[in-house]
Amino acid sequence: MSATTPSAGPRPFWQPHLAGVLLGLGLLMTFVLTGHGLGASGFTTALAATTADVVAPAATESSSYWGPMFENGRNPLDSWITWQVIGAALGALIGAMTAGRFQISYDGPVRLGKPQRLLMAFAGGAISGLGARISLGCTSGLGLSGAATLASAGFLFLGGFFITGAIIGLATKRIWQ
Amino acid sequence: MSFPLGIGGIASGLVCGLVFGFALERAGFGSATKLTAQLRFKDWAVFNVMFTAILVAAIGLYVLQLIGYVDMEQIYIPSAFLWATLLGGVGVGAGMSIGGYCPGTSVVGFCSGKIDALLFFAGLIFGTFIFAGAYDFLEPMLKAMPAPEAQTLPELLDVPTWVVLGALVAVAATVGYLTTRKPASPSSAASA
């Protein structure tokens, strides 16, 4: 794994089934080690709670939603999921660097300008964040990890996810390609 | 020694996360264009990667349980509220089609240098604030319809686990075959 020359361009993505096997083995290892699967939105929730607590501690700790996360002096970020997301960030960084794919850039719907793309990314993130709290889990925690335990909830989540995503995805395909 | 080991420490979080993030990056899931191409049915990587991963872990858990290494009673199985689970899936699906990522993949995106993924991540925090603000109003509605007693597909359908696994393998293999075989067009012969 020596440094890639800029002219070589990024390496291709892995074949989907190969990447899926590695992801599945990582998920299986997580279940065997911890008894639960992988996640993501548990961390964003803890980060949001901590942000709220820094800005308005009294209001946050008396809030019916945030309050219980701070009971008995607890810190919501002091949790396994925080370390798992830090690990995922490092893993992604290593993956992008070693494949020559790390580049400061703007992804998103190519037919739109940068400000509109960033606005759509923020709006999509807000809808996703709200959704993940409604279902108590996101594509990782409920879709991937839930379905791996054959939980009906995992498949129900994935059904709602793919059907809605495809309806809006097909309706907006002109701005993406 | 019996599994799960109940290791919830820093090292296990970092190691499990490292494999997770690396696999998602190698799959191409740090790219909003790649992720949303699945939703336009132009690229089946999201389906193929996710289904393969789900089956590897599910079959692994099943085998480890059969040989007595894993006690499924100790494995966390989500059993949320029916409408809430479906509605949340709708929200996360809409979020990906509009913003390009989901919570986990936005982390992979901005660790690949994508500015829009960072904005998506900021949006996640904002969306969590909206939920917290509306919590007293939302909570009774979301808890209105609890999930059935049967937590898993084998329990719900009243069939053995291997039947469900077999059916899922059949679906995954069929979709995988149809979506990853090389097109038999003359133009592809030149690239071989």
What pLDDT was estimated at residue B3?
66
What is the per-residue pLDDT across B10-44, written as a single tens digit (0 to 9) for each? 999 999 999 999 999 999 999 999 999 999 999 99
Asked if residue B28 lies in contact with residue B108, where contact means CB atoms within 8 angstroms, the answer is: no
CA pair distance A79, A81, nearest whole angstrom? 5
Q: Is the peptide bond before B4 cis (omega within 30 degrees of 0)?
A: yes
Q: What is the pLDDT of residues A62-86, one digit of tens each?
A: 999 999 999 988 999 999 999 999 9
Spell out the residues 6+ positions from residue B151 whose beta carbon is closer than 8 angstroms to its own. A151, A152, A153, B77, B79
The tens digit of pLDDT for each residue in B118-153 reads 999 999 999 999 999 999 999 988 888 777 777 899
Which residue intervals of chain A are DSSP H helices? 16-34, 41-55, 57-62, 80-98, 114-134, 145-148, 152-171, 173-176
The answer to whether the CB atoms of B5 and A34 lie below 8 A apart is yes
| Distance (Å, whole) CA A108 – CA B31 | 8
Say whether A160 and B86 touch across the interface (CB within 8 A): yes
**Do B20 and A27 make contact, defined as CB atoms within 8 angstroms?**
yes
Q: Where are chain A's structural domains?
A: 13-103, 108-177
pLDDT digits (tens, 9 = 90+) for B163-181: 999 999 999 999 999 998 7
**B136 Cβ contact list (under 8 Å, min separation 6):** A64
ipTM of the complex model: 0.94
**pLDDT tens-digit profile of A8-56?**
689 999 999 999 999 999 999 999 999 999 999 999 999 999 999 999 9
How many C-alpha atoms does B61 have within 13 Å on its Cβ side? 34
Q: What is this structure's pTM?
A: 0.93
- R_g over Cα of chain B: 20
Mean pLDDT of chain A: 94
Q: Is the pLDDT of residue A5 over 70?
A: no
Selecting from B28, B55, B132 the residue whose C-beta is nearest the C-beta of A13 gives B28
C-alpha span between B6 and A160 (Å, rounded): 32
The CA-CA-CA angle for residues B20, B26, B30, to 5°, reads 80
Nearest CA in chain A to B82: A153
pLDDT confidence of residue B190: 41
Q: Is A112 on the interface with B (CB under 8 A)?
A: no
Percentage of chain B lying above the pLDDT 70 cut: 92
The structure tokens listed for A138 are 């996101």
Average pLDDT, chain B: 91
* 3-state percent breakdown (helix, strand, coil) of chain B, nearest 5: 70, 5, 25
| Distances from the Cα of B15 to the Cα of A29, A86, A105, A167, B54, angstroms | 10, 10, 28, 36, 19
pLDDT interval class at B2 (50, 70, 90): low
* Residue B9 DSSP label: S
Q: Which of residues 144-163 of A touch B (CB under 8 A)?
A: 144-163
